[in-house]
Amino acid sequence: MKKIRKEDIKQEVFDLYDDYAHDRVSRRLFLDRLSVYAVGGLTVSSLLGFISPDYVKKIQVPQDDVRLNSEYITYDSPKGGGEIKGLLSRPSDAKDKLPGIVVVHENRGLNPHIEDVGRRAGLAGFISLAPDALTPLGGYPGNDDDGRTLQRERDRDGMLQDFIAAFEYLKDHPECNGNVGVVGFCFGGWISNMMAVEVPDLKAAVPFYGGQPTEHIADINAPLLLHFGALDKRVNEGWPAYEAALKENGKEYEAYIYENANHGFHNDTTPRYDREAAELAWSRTIAFFEKHLK
């Protein structure tokens, strides 16, 4: 079987995967369209395997890393899904209270990659909470296809309330200094933007390629750091209007558009990952949280 390299894959394949991952095409139609690109020794199955996430080999910070105290907890979300499970992570050698970060998953529940991001935030000197909005439906089911199906069963405003409740849990946690921000990816980017609108005490919000709010921009108090992939036309089309509203209302924000980067460029478990863009965006994110939360 031909070994696939990222440079062998046409941009249309990544765009097609984005449509599939965001429920704009069915799996059957996705595979039918993918077959168009199965040429030159490539097969549909090999293409599918290549663009699908690999959670086994890509974990950067293992669950049992001795540098961390990382554990699953539950917290109450009375306006959302009830009792929500999340991964709580913080440095094992912390002596003082820590700033908090809510880490918000994509549109498929708390998968191993987002748990890993939560642990990365813990290693960076924060107390992080990565909730699973699929908890009321049994939690992340072990694969992203079923995770997306489950997440469609939940109302997204109800899920927003789950992450707002996570903010309140962290803010009141005895190991937290009370300053809490949010970072989210894709669906989680939308949640991050909406928490900036809905939560007056939020200290910082970092949406990665997230959908934008269209109302109540004047209610935003938190400074924003926004990350976009230049090839992500779907999400980026809403940015000019959002930026204009932020400027009109005098809001504090920084925005970066990463050249030649796709939607999902931070996720290192798929070939959409752009290492240079991801590492730069994450370093900017940690510096932003250090500035506004510590």
Q: List, for residues 159-196, the tens digit of each pLDDT value.
A: 999 999 999 999 999 999 999 999 999 999 999 999 99
98: Cβ contacts below 8 Å, ≥ 6 apart: 90, 91, 125, 126, 127, 175, 176, 177
- Please name each of the domains of the chain with its CATH number: 6-51 (no CATH), 68-293 (3.40.50.1820)
Q: What is the DSSP string of 61-122?
A: S-TT-TTEEEEEEEEEETTTTEEEEEEEEEETT--S-EEEEEEE--TT-S-HHHHHHHHHHH
Q: How many Å apart are CA 166 and CA 85, to the nearest integer?
A: 10
Q: List, for residues 206-247, the tens digit of each pLDDT value.
A: 999 999 999 999 999 999 999 999 999 999 999 999 999 999
Q: List, for residues 49-88, the tens digit of each pLDDT value.
A: 888 888 988 899 999 999 999 999 999 999 999 999 999 9
Q: List, for residues 3-29, the tens digit of each pLDDT value.
A: 778 887 889 999 999 898 888 898 899
List, in sequence order, every residue forming a beta bridge with 127; answer none if it has no partner.
100
Q: How many Å apart are CA 34 and CA 108, to the nearest integer?
A: 22
Predicted TM-score (pTM) of the model is 0.95
Q: Checking DSSP bridges between strand 98-104 and strand 176-185, what pairing results, if any?
A: parallel
Which of 23, 19, 24 lies closest to 51 in space, CA to CA? 19
